[in-house]
């Protein structure tokens, strides 16, 4: 009995530490914590707790709270600051308290500031014994120097007037706004609890908590809109108090940087009153500088007796002047004007002169709320409770578009000069993005479509200061149409972009020849041939560039190589067209294995002699790849050329008989983009004009192909209009349609009872997994399997849902072995599957996956004698601990004081306390948490508590 007595003493001691003098006082309804960085040089933050409480002695005692700052080091007791420390009466028996604290963190990280207060008010229907359950809220925020003086969202609509009526839909919106313009999202969570006097154990689940709609037997829904934050209970069924909680997530550039919890209370009553209905305009998008003026209206819903009550209209949002001096929003501010106690229809006027300072990526959420004033609403308690309705109006302010964009082409320098009007909104940190595409379009953006939509083909080519009015785009292709648009982009965190400017299109005329053909005439590793052709100079002005003239052709080997060497001589150019000086046949090439790319240089005669005018764009030979498929061969080809091979009909040729060298055209392929340059040959000849040669695709035969691309510059002055170029010849052998079956895999499993009892396993450093498999005769669909297996491939991963990688190929003997032993040096843990491959190189589907797990084991004694006699001097695990990753071991004396603590992989306590002194003989209590290396989540951790007799 002695150990149990000691345990009770220790437990009683701990509980006495955590008991607050007013633990039985009940008053808490709801609240939240906001966070704001207040220093540019230090990681100093201001924390503001806002709570809503019943007015009773417990509220009067709630003069201070304990902030816990989440770094394991800091906490602070802070007094109530509003109302001269007395708080603020906000009606309906509810008082608001505000508590502030500042704290400086040592380093960037994620932190969770939290508050616990005892206790919640009584008779909350979805929290059993609510007056014995403490209140808890938290805010998690990211400290990152790149976030600047960031603040968590402000909840402008306080958690008040939260009265619902049985049978009527209830709605609440916190009107959360972010001062820096970050994105917000919402989600429901369970209410939680937290101790008031300590930071330990805060945030635990409330036993028996249910969401408000799950209390009554009649069904109802309780949801929050993830985008707007509308919390809707449709519809309450039973009177009483209910608490709920939700999270406001703050996101910047796709990264979540904070989570703010609001815990609040809803009181459901049964009264002869119905909520008013407010009407707001449809969400709008305006260009900065627009004056917005709209009328907001509301009407009361008649009560059962036909009564309609006077109405009050309110509005909150970041667009108004803030009463908090620390919160500064851009001017001009919006205004909302509405007379008090309007009846029967209430109206108010919203007016906002937007400006460049209001440009923001996210819309502004403006909350409009109406409350009715039924008879006796101002009594305590109210004779008939007030009801409210609210709606969010979303206003997006976009930047104005760039105006008067113009383009002047300069063919000689291969450049286009862009100019535009000075931009209207030259905000700090803003810039202009210049987009370009080949070709022109008819895209007309609407007023809310900011930036450049995907799919139009535009690419970003430059960013210039917002004050710029000109840009020169260089190194462009001649004979090409270019389209440009500009977009203004604004700096984070508010961000935002303008609507795209109107398109400006310009064309660079050519002063140069252009290459028209790079066609493979002969495929060989040593004796291949390619014919290169080009035009004479287009749009050429001999008065500007005098003769004599000269062509020089250069070649590079490789798809993207820029290492060019001259392959032609210095060819005298006759621009009259009477000589065949625009063609060159390149010989002695390895066209079977290599891609060759060519460019042409054109020279004129200046005062100093032959002078380079310019060079053409490089153009590659067509590269064909053939891939074996089941009774098919798949072809794909590519050609990086100066012209376009897209949106044309390419031609496929197949050798009529192996080795004949005679090819027949078997298909025409209508291609679009480069990803569509593909064809699958099933043996059918689809072109009859040159004879029909159908074949039965056999895995015992090889088939050879070449592709003829069809392209164009889409320029009338380039002749010929259509350009034809052949690829090299490429061959492939189809796969057999009889495929190997996936094997059936087995693994030797551990008998954990026998393994953990065998002391010989304590010092094992090599672990063996034996795998065996068999090959079935039939596929799952009943078809035959290919039994001619030449290889088994074994795959391994550290868990069933991990990434499998190849472990081994088993190719010997003949046929290959069907067993494999995997030796590991860390543990038994591993998951496997195996495939089979036939002589045609066809790999089967994967087998079943098998896994082997460890046998975790760990236990502790209850006595040891650290007296130096060499026997039982160390407190350590009984027998041998198996597969322990890490453990935490804490020892307390009978007074509840921590004596010793250890974290690591192996426990060996020598009986000394944390200061290195011998702990006196006696009884000690310990907590030990162990994590194991295992696949089974239920076996991954173990918590042990007990006592130790230390004898000397």
Q: What is the pLDDT of residues 424-473, one digit of tens each?
A: 999 999 999 999 999 899 898 887 889 998 889 999 999 999 999 999 99
Answer whether residue 4 shows pLDDT above 50.
Answer: no
What is the β-pairing status of strands 884-892 and 830-838?
A: unpaired
Answer whether residue 588 shows pLDDT above 90.
Answer: yes
Residue with tokens 């322990």: 884
What pLDDT score does 23 carry?
Answer: 37
Q: Is the previous residue joined to 211 through a cis bond, with omega within 30 degrees of 0?
A: no
What pLDDT score does 327 carry?
Answer: 66
| Rounded Cα distance, 209 and 615, in Å | 77
Q: H-helix or E-strand containing 679?
A: strand 678-681
What pLDDT score does 765 carry?
Answer: 83
What value does the mean pLDDT take over residues 139-149? Answer: 92
What pLDDT score does 757 carry?
Answer: 80
Contact status, residue 490 vs residue 430, Cβ threshold 8 Å: yes
Both tokens of residue 27?
Answer: 């008053």
What pLDDT score does 11 carry?
Answer: 37
What value does the mean pLDDT take over residues 576-587? Answer: 91
Answer whether residue 128 shows pLDDT above 70.
Answer: yes
Strand partners, 571: 551
Contact status, residue 412 vs residue 511, Cβ threshold 8 Å: yes
Answer whether residue 851 shows pLDDT above 50.
Answer: yes
What pLDDT score does 25 carry?
Answer: 55
| Rounded Cα distance, 772 and 745, in Å | 6
Three-state secondary-structure class, residue 11: helix
Both tokens of residue 685?
Answer: 């000849």
Contact status, residue 643 vs residue 540, Cβ threshold 8 Å: no
User: Phi/psi at 934 (nearest 5 deg)?
Assistant: -155, 155
Answer whether residue 285 shows pLDDT above 90.
Answer: yes
Contact status, residue 58 vs residue 66, Cβ threshold 8 Å: no
What pLDDT score does 61 carry?
Answer: 82
Both tokens of residue 549?
Answer: 């003239």
Answer whether residue 119 shows pLDDT above 80.
Answer: yes
| Rounded Cα distance, 898 and 939, in Å | 28
Q: How confident is the model at residue 5 (pLDDT cuts 50, 70, 90)?
A: very low
What pLDDT score does 38 carry?
Answer: 93
Contact status, residue 639 vs residue 692, Cβ threshold 8 Å: no
Q: Check residues 72 and 795 and name the one with the higher pLDDT.
A: 795
What value does the mean pLDDT take over residues 858-875? Answer: 91
Three-state secondary-structure class, residue 704: strand
Both tokens of residue 671?
Answer: 């291609």
Q: Which of 53-67, 316-330, 335-349, 577-591 has the lowest mean pLDDT?
A: 316-330
| Closest of 841, 906, 828 to residue 874, by C-alpha | 906
Answer whether residue 21 shows pLDDT above 60.
Answer: no
| Rounded Cα distance, 792 and 785, in Å | 15
Contact status, residue 236 vs residue 275, Cβ threshold 8 Å: no
What pLDDT score does 22 carry?
Answer: 39
What pLDDT score does 328 carry?
Answer: 66
Predicted confidence (pLDDT) per residue in 370-410, tens digit:
999 999 888 878 889 999 999 999 999 999 999 999 999 98
What pLDDT score does 192 carry?
Answer: 97
What value does the mean pLDDT take over residues 44-57? Answer: 92
CA distances from 577 to 91, 478, 553, 612, 732 (A): 97, 22, 19, 21, 44
Predicted confidence (pLDDT) per residue in 467-502, tens digit:
999 999 998 887 788 999 999 999 888 888 999 999
What is the DSSP code (8-state) at residue 333? P
What pLDDT score does 326 carry?
Answer: 63
| Rounded Cα distance, 9 and 21, in Å | 21
pTM score > 0.95 for this model? Answer: no
What pLDDT score does 6 carry?
Answer: 38
Contact status, residue 791 vs residue 844, Cβ threshold 8 Å: no
Average pLDDT over the chain, rounded to an integer: 91
What value does the mean pLDDT take over residues 842-863? Answer: 92
Predicted confidence (pLDDT) per residue in 195-227, tens digit:
998 998 899 999 999 999 999 999 899 999 999
What value does the mean pLDDT take over residues 634-659? Answer: 95
């Amino acid at each position: 009995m002695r150990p149990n007595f000691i345990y009770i003493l220790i437990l009683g001691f701990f509980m006495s530490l955590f008991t607050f003098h007013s633990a039985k006082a009940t008053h808490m309804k709801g609240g939240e914590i906001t966070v704001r960085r207040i220093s540019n040089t230090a990681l100093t933050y201001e924390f503001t707790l806002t709570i809503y409480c019943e007015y009773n002695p417990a509220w009067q005692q709630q003069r201070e709270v304990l902030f816990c700052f989440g770094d394991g080091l800091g906490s602070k007791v802070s007094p109530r600051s509003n109302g001269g420390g007395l708080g603020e009466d906000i009606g309906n028996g509810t008082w608001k308290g505000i508590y502030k604290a500042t704290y400086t963190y040592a380093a960037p990280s994620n932190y969770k500031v939290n508050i616990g207060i005892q206790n919640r008010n009584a008779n909350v229907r979805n929290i059993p014994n609510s007056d014995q359950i403490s209140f808890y809220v938290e805010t998690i925020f990211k400290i990152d120097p790149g976030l600047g003086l960031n603040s968590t969202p402000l909840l402008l609509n306080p958690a008040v007037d939260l009265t619902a009526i049985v049978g009527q839909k209830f709605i609440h919106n916190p009107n959360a706004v972010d001062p820096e313009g970050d994105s917000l999202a919402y989600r429901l969570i369970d209410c939680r609890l937290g101790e008031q006097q300590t930071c330990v154990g805060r945030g635990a689940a409330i036993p028996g908590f249910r969401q408000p709609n799950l209390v009554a037997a009649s069904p109802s829904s309780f949801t929050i809109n993830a985008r707007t934050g509308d919390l809707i209970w449709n519809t309450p069924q039973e009177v009483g108090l209910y608490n709920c909680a939700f999270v406001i997530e703050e996101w910047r550039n796709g990264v979540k940087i904070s989570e703010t919890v609001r815990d609040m209370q809803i009181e459901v009553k049964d009264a002869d009153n119905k909520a008013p209905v407010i009407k707001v305009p449809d969400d709008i998008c305006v260009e900065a500088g627009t004056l917005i003026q709209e009328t907001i209206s509301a009407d009361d819903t008649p009560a059962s007796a036909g009564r309609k009550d006077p109405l009050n209209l309110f509005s909150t949002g970041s667009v108004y002047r803030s009463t908090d001096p620390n919160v500064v929003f851009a001017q001009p501010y919006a205004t909302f004007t509405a007379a008090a106690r309007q009846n029967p229809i209430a109206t108010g006027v919203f007016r906002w002169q937007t400006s460049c300072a209001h440009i923001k990526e996210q819309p502004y959420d403006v909350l409009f709320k109406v409350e009715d004033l039924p008879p006796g609403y101002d009594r305590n308690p109210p004779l008939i409770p007030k009801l409210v309705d609210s709606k969010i109006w979303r206003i997006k302010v976009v930047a104005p578009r760039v105006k008067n964009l113009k383009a002047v082409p300069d063919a000689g320098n291969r450049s286009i000069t862009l100019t535009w009007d000075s931009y209207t909104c030259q905000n700090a940190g803003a810039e202009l993005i210049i987009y370009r595409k080949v070709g022109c379009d008819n895209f007309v953006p609407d007023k809310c479509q900011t930036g450049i939509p995907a799919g139009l083909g535009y690419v970003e080519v430059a960013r210039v200061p917002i004050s710029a009015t000109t840009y020169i785009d260089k190194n462009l292709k001649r004979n090409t149409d270019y389209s440009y648009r500009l977009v203004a982009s604004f700096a984070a965190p508010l961000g935002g972009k303008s609507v795209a400017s109107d398109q400006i299109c310009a064309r660079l005329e050519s002063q140069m020849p252009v290459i028209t053909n790079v066609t493979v005439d002969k495929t060989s590793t040593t004796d291949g041939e390619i014919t290169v052709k080009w035009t004479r100079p287009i749009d050429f002005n001999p008065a500007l560039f005098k003769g004599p003239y000269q062509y020089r052709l250069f070649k590079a080997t490789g798809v993207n190589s820029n290492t060019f060497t001259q392959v032609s001589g210095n060819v005298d150019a006759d621009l009259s067209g009477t000589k065949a000086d625009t063609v060159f046949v390149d010989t002695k090439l390895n066209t079977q294995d290599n891609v060759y790319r060519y460019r042409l240089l054109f020279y004129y005669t200046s005062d100093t002699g032959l002078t380079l005018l310019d060079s053409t764009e490089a153009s590659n030979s067509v590269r064909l790849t053939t891939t074996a498929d089941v009774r098919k061969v798949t072809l794909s080809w590519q050609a990086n050329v100066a012209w376009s091979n897209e949106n044309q009909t390419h031609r496929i040729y197949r050798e009529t008989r192996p080795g004949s060298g005679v090819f027949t055209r078997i298909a025409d392929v209508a291609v679009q983009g480069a990803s569509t340059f593909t064809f699958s040959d099933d043996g059918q000849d689809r072109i009859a004009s040159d004879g029909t040669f159908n074949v039965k695709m056999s895995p015992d035969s090889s088939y050879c192909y070449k592709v003829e691309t069809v392209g164009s510059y889409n320029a009338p002055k380039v002749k010929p209009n259509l350009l034809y170029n052949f690829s090299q010849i490429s061959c492939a052998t189809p796969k057999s349609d009889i495929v190997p079956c996936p094997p059936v895999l087995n693994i030797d499993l551990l008998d954990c009872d026998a393994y953990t009892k065998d002391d010989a396993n304590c010092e094992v450093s090599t672990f063996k997994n034996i795998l065996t498999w068999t090959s079935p005769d039939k596929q799952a669909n009943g078809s035959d399997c290919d039994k001619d297996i030449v290889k088994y491939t074994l795959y391994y991963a550290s868990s069933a849902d991990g990434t499998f990688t190849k472990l081994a190929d088993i190719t010997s003997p003949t046929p290959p072995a069907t067993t494999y032993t995997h030796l590991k040096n860390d543990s038994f843990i591993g998951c496997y599957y195996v495939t089979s491959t036939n002589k045609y190189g066809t790999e089967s589907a994967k087998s079943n996956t098998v896994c082997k797990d460890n046998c975790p084991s760990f236990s502790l004694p209850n006595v040891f004698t650290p007296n130096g006699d060499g026997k039982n001097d160390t407190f350590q695990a009984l027998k041998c601990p198996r597969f322990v990753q890490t453990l935490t071991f804490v020892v307390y004396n009978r007074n509840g004081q921590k004596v010793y603590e250890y974290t690591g992989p192996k426990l060996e306590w020598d009986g000394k306390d944390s200061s290195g002194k011998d702990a006196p003989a006696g009884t000690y209590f310990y907590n030990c948490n162990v994590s194991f290396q295992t696949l089974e989540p239920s076996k991954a951790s173990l918590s042990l508590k007990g006592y130790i007799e230390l004898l000397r």
